[in-house]
């Protein structure tokens, strides 16, 4: 049953490519979470606003992003927009789709955080002469981010897993590169196992840096 | 020889309908097996043995931080090098079940640990055995508290079944069958929106139903309390 000879040397010959691809995965993850947080913070405020248009806009975004597969979202950004004459590169399509997906989840997470903040603080800050945006930037969101820090790190891991879907539209991030290399060398098991280990390591690195950031900025 | 149609035909609709049925079937089957496995793992973590807790936590951690795509291909190529027969559909089903079991286990542990210790002590004090107190006290109380997150996991699972396409599993599920049709009729937007609408409606309706159910649960509790 088990007369298979593992060949690891092929894999390590392609180590530089894998490492580059892993960096691309991390870059995509970081960008999509960063953009997602920026958009998500603005929209989570809209979600609670009295303006009907803003409210429905965010509610629709959340519902669409959370109730359809991420792969379908990537297809829509890549093939769907292509049909309308807007041709995104696979990099841009993956970034846009994963960000879109992220925002949907982050809005709900941040809204939960906003609910936990005493709104009297908003009145107090306004009374001190702050502008509305200053109230959110300096008073509300530092507390919100602290309160929902753990769910956000979860979302970071999700975003990283999501970028692996880029392989299907031909982006050579870690999964895509692995698929490309194994198709050249016919060593799928070795390559995918190494890729899995790299993903684990990336995940640990991200969680650890998140913990460091939390220790630095979210001290009581 | 003009049987090659470039428009959306009835057969295409049937293909998508079949795809939807396959998506549904995959979700139910892997959701069932995955929840069963996840329940056992989550229970094991809540038993209170430190070594078991860490062992199972590693299992969960590894599965949660490797993309599902990689897990699919990895398991499939493992079968290949082990010389076992491969049916992509079955190996995909197994991978999905194992994948979701890690997420379910986390939820189950949270549910079990969330039951106040005093309740368990009271049950044991009434003469129940460990298994009886687990069956009649811990599970009913824990299940209520984790129902929403479990539903969320199952809906996520339904969306993740679309990735089984990388194995070339046949018959194709919904997203793969839409992809096949798109390749022929070159109308990605309409077909994708159609497929998306199906996922959306399924998720949305199930979510609503569970929220309703939850509400009826809580209101009933208020009446009896």
* Residues B147-206 pLDDT 10s: 888 998 999 999 999 898 888 877 888 999 998 898 888 888 889 999 999 999 988 888
Q: Does A3 fall in a domain?
A: no
Which residue range(s) make up the domain with B177? 10-220
A1–B84 CB contact, under 8 Å: yes
Whether residue B222 is predicted with pLDDT greater than 80 in this model: the reply is no
Structure confidence at residue A39 (pLDDT): 96
List chain A residues with pLDDT less than 70. 1-2, 220
The reported pLDDT for the residue numbered B134 is 92
- Residue A179 in any domain: the answer is yes
B55 in a structural domain: yes
The answer to whether position A83 is within a domain reads yes
Strand ranges in A41-198 using DSSP code E only, listed in sequence order: none
Does residue B2 lie within any of the structural domains? no
Q: Is residue A53 domain-resident?
A: yes
Query: Quick check: helix, strand or coil at residue A172?
Result: coil
- Asked if B162 and A71 come within 8 Å (Cβ–Cβ), the reply is yes
Residue in the block written with tokens 């999905």: B96
pTM: 0.89
Shortest CB distance from A164 goes to which of B67, B81, B200? Answer: B67
> What residue has token string 């016919």?
A186
pLDDT higher than threshold 90 for residue B105: yes
Spatial distance between the Cα atoms of A191 and A7, rounded to a whole number of angstroms: 10
What the block records as the tokens of B22 is 């396959």
H/E segment holding residue A170: none
CB of B70 less than 8 A from some CB of A: yes
Q: Please check whether residue B4 lies inside any domain of the structure.
A: no
Count of domains in chain B? 1
Instruction: Give how many domains chain A has, as a whole number.
Output: 1
CB pair distance less than 8 Å for B74 and A196: yes
Q: What angle do CA A90, B196, B198 make, to 5 degrees?
A: 160
What pLDDT score was predicted for residue B1? 46
Chain segment B1-10, per-residue pLDDT in tens: 456 677 788 8
Is residue B1 situated within a structural domain?
A: no
Pick from B60, B196, B39: nearest CA to A66: B196
Q: What would the two tokens of residue A115 be?
A: 């609910």
Contact call for residues B30 and B161 (beta carbons, < 8 A): yes
Per-residue three-class SS string for chain B? CCCCCCCCCHHHHHHHHHHHHHHHHHHHHHHHHHHHHHHHHHHHHHCCCHHHHHHHHHHHHHHHCCCHHHHHHHHHHHHHHCCCCCCHHHHHHHHHHHHHHHHHHHHHHHHHHHCCHHHHHHHHHCCCCHHHHHHHHHHHHHHHHHHHHHHHHHHHHHHHHHHHHHHCCCCCCHHHHHHHHHHHHCCHHHHHHHHHHHHHHHHHHHHHHHHHHHHHHHHHHHHHC
Residue B100 pLDDT > 90: yes
Whether B120 is in a domain gets the answer yes
Q: Which residue range forms the structural domain that includes residue A152?
A: 8-217
d(CA A154, CA A219): 20
CA nearest to B22, candidates B114, B84, B88: B88
CATH of the domain at B34: 1.10.3720.10
Instruction: Tell me if A24 sits within 8 A of B105, measured CB to CB.
Output: no
Chain A positions in Cβ-Cβ contact with residue B83 (cut-off 8 Å): 1-4
Contact A66/B71, CB-based, under 8 Å?
no
Give pLDDT, residue B225.
44
Asked if residue B210 belongs to a domain, the reply is: yes
A195 located within any domain: yes
* Cross-chain residue pair B159–A189, CB shorter than 8 Å: no
Q: How far is B92 from chain A (nearest CA, A)?
A: 16
Q: Is residue B5 part of a domain?
A: no
- Give the Cα separation of B31 and B25 in Å (integer): 10
Query: In the prediction, which pLDDT does A83 show?
Result: 85
In the numeric block, the tokens 């491969």 are attached to B86
Q: Which residues of A touch B66 (CB under 8 A)?
A: 161, 196, 199-200
How many Cβ atoms are within 10 Å of A92's Cβ, its own excluded? 14
B187 in a domain, yes or no? yes
Share of chain B above pLDDT 70, in %: 95
* B90 and B30 Cβ atoms separated by less than 8 Å: no
Going by C-alpha positions, the residue among B132, B105, B139 that lies closest to residue B36 is B105
Q: Which of B214, B172, B220, B200 is nearest to B21 (CA)?
A: B172
Could you please report the per-residue DSSP string of A19-40?
HHHHHHHHHHHHHHHHHHHHHH
At B209, list the tokens.
């139903």
Q: Mutate which of B72, B73, B160 to disrupt the A interface (most A C-beta within 10 Å)?
A: B73
Cα(B103)–Cα(B42) distance, integer angstroms: 9
**B68 pLDDT more than 90:** yes
Q: Which pLDDT score, from 0 to 100, does residue B81 have? A: 85
Q: Among B69, B74, B195, whose Cβ lies nearest the Cβ of A165? A: B69
Give the Cα separation of A57 and B25 in Å (integer). Answer: 33
**In this structure, what token pair is assigned to residue B212?**
């309703």
Residue A80 DSSP symbol: I
Q: How confident is the model at residue B219 (pLDDT cuts 50, 70, 90)?
A: low
Average pLDDT, chain B: 88
Residue A2 falls inside a structural domain: no
pLDDT > 90 in chain B, percent = 54
Q: Indicate which CATH number applies to the domain containing A165.
A: 1.10.3720.10
Find which of B64, B182, B183, B196 to mutate to test the A interface (most A CBs within 10 Å of its CB). Answer: B196
* Preferred mutation among A21, A72, A151 to probe B, highest tally of B CBs within 10 A: A72
| Residues B178 and B19 sit within 8 Å (Cβ to Cβ) | yes
Confidence of residue B221 (pLDDT cuts 50, 70, 90): low
Q: Which pLDDT value is given to residue A54? A: 93
């Amino acid at each position: 049953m088990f007369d298979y000879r593992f060949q690891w040397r092929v894999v390590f010959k392609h180590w530089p490519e894998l490492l580059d691809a892993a960096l691309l995965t991390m870059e995509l993850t970081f960008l999509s979470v960063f953009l997602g947080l920026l958009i998500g913070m603005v929209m989570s405020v809209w979600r609670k606003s009295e303006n009907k248009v803003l409210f429905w806009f965010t509610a629709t975004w959340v519902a669409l992003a959370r109730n359809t597969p991420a792969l379908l979202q990537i297809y829509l950004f890549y093939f769907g927009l292509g049909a309308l004459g807007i041709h995104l590169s696979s990099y841009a399509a993956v970034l846009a789709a994963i960000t879109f997906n992220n925002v949907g989840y982050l809005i709900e997470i941040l809204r939960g955080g906003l609910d936990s903040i005493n709104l009297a603080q908003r009145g107090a800050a306004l009374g001190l002469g702050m502008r509305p945006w200053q109230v959110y930037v300096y008073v509300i969101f530092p507390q919100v981010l602290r309160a929902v820090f753990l769910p956000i790190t979860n979302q970071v891991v999700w975003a990283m897993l999501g970028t692996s879907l880029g392989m299907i539209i031909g982006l050579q991030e870690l999964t895509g590169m692995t698929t490309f290399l194994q198709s050249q060398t016919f060593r799928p098991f070795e390559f995918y196992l190494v890729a899995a280990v790299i993903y684990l390591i990336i995940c640990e690195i991200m969680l650890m840096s998140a913990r460091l950031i939390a220790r630095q900025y979210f001290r009581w | 020889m003009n049987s090659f149609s470039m428009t959306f035909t009835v057969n295409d609709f049937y293909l998508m309908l079949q795809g939807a049925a396959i998506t549904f079937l995959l979700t139910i089957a892997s959701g069932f097996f995955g929840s069963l496995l996840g329940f056992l793992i989550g229970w094991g973590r809540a038993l209170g043995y430190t070594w078991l807790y860490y062992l199972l936590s590693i299992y969960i951690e590894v599965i949660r931080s490797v993309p599902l795509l990689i897990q699919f291909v990895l398991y499939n190529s493992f079968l290949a090098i082990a010389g076992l027969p491969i049916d992509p559909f079955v190996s995909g089903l197994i991978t999905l079940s194992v994948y979701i079991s890690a997420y379910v286990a986390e939820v189950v542990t949270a549910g079990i640990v969330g039951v106040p210790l005093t309740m368990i002590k009271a049950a044991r004090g009434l003469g129940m055995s460990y298994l009886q107190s687990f069956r009649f006290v811990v599970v009913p109380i824990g299940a209520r508290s984790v129902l929403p997150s479990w539903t969320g996991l199952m809906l996520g699972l339904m969306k993740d079944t679309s990735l089984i396409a990388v194995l070339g599993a046949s018959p194709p599920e919904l997203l793969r069958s839409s992809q096949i049709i798109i390749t022929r009729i070159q109308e990605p937007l309409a077909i994708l929106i159609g497929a998306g609408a199906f996922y959306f409606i399924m998720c949305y309706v199930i979510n609503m139903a569970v929220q309703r159910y939850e509400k009826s649960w809580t209101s009933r509790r208020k009446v009896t309390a």
